[in-house]
Amino acid sequence: MKLTEATNVLREARWTFAKTMAWVPHYYTLKKDWADQEQFVRAAQFLDDEGVMMTWGQKAAKRYLDIGDWRYWHMSSPAEATLINRELISGSKAKSAQSET
């Protein structure tokens, strides 16, 4: 997957506001809602391949990728991921993992 395709598929995905975590405003898209679930896995893999290591709070570092105004991430390996998250970069609390050292 290339950046243009990733941008398009992520833009076209159905996003739901994470209302159970409203104090951390972000959205998610579920793999089960994607017509092409292999495309979902490829998108998650692209986030891992192109993303940078960042931390959020005291949690372990994970890969985040900024595309346009949005920061994307998922919580497990691309093959096992069931959702992809996004938040506006302007409101993100994620910090470069390199700045933590």
Is residue 63 situated within a structural domain?
yes
Structural domain span for residue 25: 3-92
Write down the mean pLDDT value for the chain.
Answer: 91
Is residue 46 situated within a structural domain?
yes
Please give the model's pTM, rounded to 2 decimal places. Answer: 0.89
The pLDDT value recorded for residue 99 is: 53
Is residue 49 situated within a structural domain?
yes
Is residue 97 situated within a structural domain?
no
Is residue 100 situated within a structural domain?
no
Poorest-pLDDT segment among 1-5, 31-35, 56-60? 56-60
The pLDDT value recorded for residue 48 is: 95
Residue pair 66/54 in contact (Cβ under 8 Å)? The answer is: no
Q: How confident is the model at residue 100 (pLDDT cuts 50, 70, 90)?
A: very low
**What's the domain count of the chain?**
1
Burial profile 62-85: b = 16 or more Cβ within 10 angstroms, e = fewer: bbbbebeebbbbbeeebeebebbb
Is residue 41 situated within a structural domain?
yes
Is residue 98 situated within a structural domain?
no
